[in-house]
Structure 1
């Protein structure tokens, strides 16, 4: 299991070297493919969050694990009145402050937030592709509970996860957990699930698929993205299909978006 210091050092080095969608995304597939993948992510986020009965022009939101600011920009597109960002790394926070000088960014470990946002009462907190990188189960639980303290009653928690319908898959820098385990922690923290749907379907690792399909499709993706030109072509070819799939399917073998409401 990776220690917290090792985890932070891993991300400090990665984001200092590559502050792009590749740095925060599926690195093995290259930048060009990741840029197509993130187009789908943005569309899904805007569609699902935009459908909530919330006047975002009056809302205060916090983005946890802001990375390159991708979802900060998405909140700006939704017209959020006040946007605050955070990240585990100094590398990301420094660059975020430079790129968004009008916004507040803080270095934050969501599992141990301290008093950084003491007394905060956000209308929504987003935490995209972050929680599955918390490899310790107790720290994962602590992260969910700290988010609950940041969201006002009636407010929303928006996050993406690999909600497995099989036993947990544990790696050095990522743990994919069963959906029942995750929703139990959400319920204990005071959240009700109001929405879950595919964030991606084919343009990411098939972590919740059968072994044969998972390995076969993973091999196809890696072969198609060996170079930046072929990665761009693969992304361009999959993009229209992926857009249809995330709208038509209710389950995904990879990352999904979940929206919870604070009781």
Structure 2
């Protein structure tokens, strides 16, 4: 597969669309993605609130995008939140929107002076790792997530943990659960739990091929216009909220919490 310039791709995308659709499932539009992020926030707040963190904790958010999870950490009462993003487009806007938060431009797949070792009690990396299309850079990113954590610190991440073979595309790679877990363990991150972050409101990457195509087509048809996208999101939202609580795993993005050994 041809190597792409990921930074250039995300600079263009976020400069043009610094909204939920810019950081989410772009083809489904902003109105639908706004409902999706309501579910994502609920899952994140529920799971992160159970961690031993508080006003004296220091947390790093990797791939901050529009600042969704920065705001979640602040809502949970974290005293010191640092955000980072690959792009200047995101960092500049985040600094304007959140003047009380430090933001740095950093590539998590490369060691950065801006992200010193053993300096955070937790790190979040949401919907970032599967956009690293090179396996070696992915492994380096996981190592860096572990590197910035203090012993016993938490890594909170989202991924598509496939039970089938990996899937490589131009801007996203869906990897297998054993491969991802092995990468985490090699970095010194012990998996504590994994929960659904979404169920129906996203691409069904780990479902049978026929269902993937049928449901993907239905979502795209339902979100062709902003009004229908809003209605589709509103209709699915209460169902999705129940599914992410009751299901043990999902056919799409899941959230995993690990701890630095």
Q: Normalising by the residue count of structure 2, what TM-score does the alignment of the two structures yield?
A: 0.98
- Residue aligning to 1:177: 175
* Whole-angstrom CA distance in 2 between matches of 1:49 and 1:96: 22
Q: Normalising by the residue count of structure 1, what TM-score does the alignment of the two structures yield?
A: 0.97
How big is the shift at 1:120? 4.6
Question: How much is the aligned-residue C-alpha RMSD, in angstroms?
Answer: 0.9
How big is the shift at 1:117? 1.9
* Whole-angstrom CA distance in 2 between matches of 1:251 and 1:149: 28
* Whole-angstrom CA distance in 2 between matches of 1:34 and 1:177: 24
- Residue aligning to 1:46: 45
- Residue aligning to 2:166: 168
- Residue aligning to 1:147: 145
1:90-127 deviation digits (Å, cap 9, x = unpaired): 01000011111111100000001321222451000000
* Whole-angstrom CA distance in 1 between matches of 2:44 and 2:112: 29
Change (3 A) 1:2 1:77: farther
Change (3 A) 1:35 1:2: farther
SS state at 1:40 partner: helix
SS state at 1:129 partner: coil
- Residue aligning to 1:158: 156
* Whole-angstrom CA distance in 1 between matches of 2:108 and 2:3: 15
SS state at 2:191 partner: strand
**Count of paired positions:** 261
* Whole-angstrom CA distance in 2 between matches of 1:178 and 1:42: 25
SS state at 1:145 partner: helix
- Residue aligning to 1:244: 242
SS state at 2:55 partner: helix
How big is the shift at 1:51? 1.6
- Residue aligning to 1:24: 23
- Residue aligning to 1:194: 192
Picking from 226, 239, 252, the partner of 1:254 is: 252
How big is the shift at 1:87? 0.2
How big is the shift at 1:11? 0.2
